[in-house]
């Protein structure tokens, strides 16, 4: 994540590109971030700079972004490929499809599951 003063990086020890569902928890308290994938040990990171509060005047991206290279300041060149479901913020489920401003190749989860089973 990036609060404006520098990014924090947390990397899971588990691969999640195995066509299985995974439970991922991301937590941020001030400049400290925590990542937990399934039952693995939590990974933590600290953002640089002095900023500790997320002020999202613009859009928040969940999953991928339009131009990953530009939008990450050249840190990444590959975008997210996968399915995101059941996102909660402060304990409240977010209706991703109903509140999305934009999306690419986005379908409902049920449509995706049915399509995959038919292939």
For the stretch 17-40, pLDDT in tens is 888 888 888 888 888 888 899 999
Pairing of strands 88-89, 24-29: unpaired
What is residue 9's predicted lDDT score, i.e. its pLDDT? 76
Which CATH number goes with the domain that contains 21? 2.60.120.200
End-to-end CA distance of the chain: 36
| Number of domains composing the chain | 1
* Integer Cα distance of 115 and 92 in angstroms: 29
Domain that holds residue 45: 1-118
Polymer length in residues for the chain: 119
Residue 114 has pLDDT above 50, yes or no: no
Q: 114 CB contacts (<8 Å, ≥6 apart)?
A: none
Condensed to tens digits (0 to 9), the pLDDT of residues 60-93 reads 777 777 788 887 778 778 877 777 777 887 788 8
């Amino acid at each position: 994540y990036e609060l404006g003063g520098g990014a924090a990086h947390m990397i899971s020890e588990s691969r999640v590109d195995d066509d299985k569902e995974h439970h991922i928890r991301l937590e941020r308290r001030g400049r400290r971030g925590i990542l937990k994938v399934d039952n693995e040990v939590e990974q933590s990171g600290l953002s640089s700079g002095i900023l500790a509060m997320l002020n999202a005047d613009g859009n928040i991206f969940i999953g991928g972004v339009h131009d990953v290279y530009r939008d990450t300041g050249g840190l990444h060149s590959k975008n997210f490929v996968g399915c995101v479901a059941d996102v909660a913020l402060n304990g409240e489920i977010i209706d991703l499809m109903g509140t999305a401003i934009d999306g690419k190749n986005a379908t409902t989860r049920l449509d995706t599951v049915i399509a995959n089973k038919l292939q």
